[in-house]
A and B are shown apart, each in its own frame.
Chain A
């Protein structure tokens, strides 16, 4: 079946511009996670959704970052007034349920470059 998809695959933007990153999770998966990975670094958690609500926003690095999920499916991560330190690969993952007994399936990521 279809896996997690993300768009765009690559995004180059100028400093100060806003960007939107999209994630289409696997159908029926109630849990959705956003992470980012900077070059050569580990995975950094950003936000978690269970259905359309976000019980855990603790990883969002600043108020320039926001995310929403609609219809228990598609999610959008928005970064306002982008900065160069926002350059990273943004990864989305979905899971059947938001518990420790289920695996997460990752999308291919969006590579964001802020110039």
Chain B
């Protein structure tokens, strides 16, 4: 799977929007962009994914650059519960399953 680059850490105030960036300059045309997060002492949690178009769900929005070499996970109003490590992962459609490969991710600190 192609490599992603994320900042090690970010900080946000509660109730403010958070933009978590991810660079993936070697992305291929069939790679899906997935985001997961892991809260302290919990298992990973799916957040959102997309291929080319921007995506919205109840948790977040995913903005994908036109050239797909970068993407941004947007949390519209950060809460204390959003403090977690966020992982940006590229997955290639190969029809035979895939295993998530978490890099270091971005540790998000949310302050009251």
Contacts and interface: CB of A to CB of B under 8 A. Distances in A.
A98 B44 contact: no
Contact of B97 (A35, A48, A106): A48
Q: Interface size for chain B: under 10, 10 to 19, 20 to 34, or 35 or more residues? A: 20 to 34
Contacts of A105: 46
Contacts of A42: 102-104
Contacts, number: 68
A100 B100 contact: no
Q: Interface size for chain A: under 10, 10 to 19, 20 to 34, or 35 or more residues? A: 20 to 34
B97 A98 contact: yes
Contacts of B98: 98-100
Interface string A72-100: 00000000000000000101010000111
19 contacts: A33-B99, A42-B102, A45-B99, A45-B101, A50-B96, A55-B97, A56-B97, A89-B43, A91-B43, A91-B44, A98-B97, A99-B93, A99-B97, A101-B49, A104-B100, A106-B43, A107-B43, A108-B43, A109-B43
Given A99-B98, A100-B30, 9 more contacts: A33-B97, A35-B100, A55-B96, A56-B96, A59-B99, A100-B98, A105-B46, A106-B45, A107-B43
Interface of A: 31, 33, 35, 42-43, 45, 48, 50, 55-56, 59, 89, 91, 93, 98-101, 103-109
List the 3 shortest-distance A-B pairs measured between CB atoms, nearest first: A98-B97, A45-B99, A100-B91
